[in-house]
Amino acid sequence: MSLLKIKALNKSFKANHVLRGASLELSAGDRHVIIGPNGAGKTTFVNCIYGTIPLDTGEVILEDRAIHMMPSYKRVDLGIGRTFQKNNLFVNLTVTNNVYLALLSTKKYSMKAFKPLMLYEDVLEETDAFLKEWGMADRTDKKVNELSYGEQRVLEIILSLCSNPKILLLDEPTSGMSPSETASTIELIKKIPRSVSIIMIEHDMDVVFSTANKITVLHHGETIMSGKPEEIRGDKMIQEIYFGGGARTHA
């Protein structure tokens, strides 16, 4: 029984046909990693699932419910969260205020105007608890632009967890990280409870094979193969276009 069915997505930017029938099925608890060379359309795929950009044709079905026409904020309500390949944070605000804004969006009163400050206290407590839980308690009063790049990358993941998503879309969470930062980020991702199913784009093969229970290969906008890590690793064609054939690999 799959949680999320992504069926035959097509997306063009002018003459650039980026997604060509890309599909994917996510089951509950999956760590489903998407691999593929630069420019394959991986980020575009995530953008379309999340509603960041509209798709041309295709369907995204969450538990029997078509969500691909909904605006992002409705998809978030239904339990989808995401991170960005390029850090997308409130750089001028403190870590606390970043998380605070992320948690506030989940509150029923987030649109209340002319209500006093008192109402904020429960978000504040949650913010503290959240930062402790995810190991950023010592960074609370730092502004984001004072954090190291790796810390910003981690905050990117933490923010996406604030809405308590059922499904998390991670776009290259370890990109640009040092080996040690990468290692601790893998640990953090492993800490995410199984009640959260994950679709993750990743280039680093160590990360891929240490986290994935399924892998889909996206090539020129097509999902050319999907299966268990062993199957993908053993496949001739995949080895040629991805592991062998001079395509970009960090591993």
Ligand X SMILES: Nc1ncnc2c1ncn2[C@@H]1O[C@H](COP(=O)(O)OP(=O)(O)OP(=O)(O)O)[C@@H](O)[C@H]1O
Contacting positions for ligand X (CB under 6 A): 13, 16, 18, 36, 38-44, 85
Binding site partner of 111, from Mg ion, ligand X, other proteins, none, Cβ cut-off 5-8 A by kind:
other proteins
- Tell me the closest approach of the beta carbon of residue 65 to Mg ion, in angstroms: 27
Token representation of residue 63: 């538990």
In the β-sheet with 16-27, what is the strand arrangement from edge to edge? 16-27, 2-13, 57-62, 65-66
DSSP for 52-81 reads SS--SEEEEEETTEE-TTS-HHHHHHTTEE
71 binds, among other proteins, Mg ion, ligand X, none (CB under 5 to 8 A by kind): other proteins
What is the distance, to the nearest Å, from the Cα of residue 17 to the centroid of all Cα atoms in its chain? 23
Give min distance, CB of 172 to other proteins, in A. 16
Q: How far is the CB of 4 from other proteins (least distance, A)?
A: 17
By beta-carbon proximity to ligand X, the closer residue of 41 and 51 is 41
Residue 58, classed as helix, strand or coil, is: strand
Residue closest to 80 by CA, chosen among 95, 94, 68, 92: 68
Cα separation, 249 vs 238, in Å, equals 13
236 binds, among ligand X, other proteins, Mg ion, none (CB under 5 to 8 A by kind): none
Positions that interact with other proteins (CB under 8 A): 50, 52, 71-73, 76-77, 82, 84, 88-94, 96-97, 100-102, 104-107, 109-117, 119-121, 124, 128, 141, 143, 159-160, 162-163
Contact of 136 with 75, CB cutoff 8 Å: no
Between 70 and 224, whose beta carbon lies closer to other proteins? 70
Residues at the contact surface with Mg ion, assessed by CB under 5 A:
42-43, 85
CB nearer to other proteins: pick between 46 and 192 = 46
Total H helices, total E strands in the chain = 9, 10
**From the list other proteins, Mg ion, ligand X, none, partner contacted by residue 40 (C-beta under 5 to 8 A by kind):** ligand X
Per DSSP, the three-state class of 91 is: coil
Q: Would you say 109 or 149 has its CB closer to other proteins?
A: 109
CA distance 109 to 199: 30
Q: Which helix (H) or strand (E) holds 20?
A: strand 16-27
Nearer to ligand X (CB atom), residue 18 or residue 170: 18
Distance from C-alpha of 22 to C-alpha of 45, rounded to nearest angstrom: 8
- Give whichever of 102 and 172 is closer to ligand X, judged by the CB atom: 172
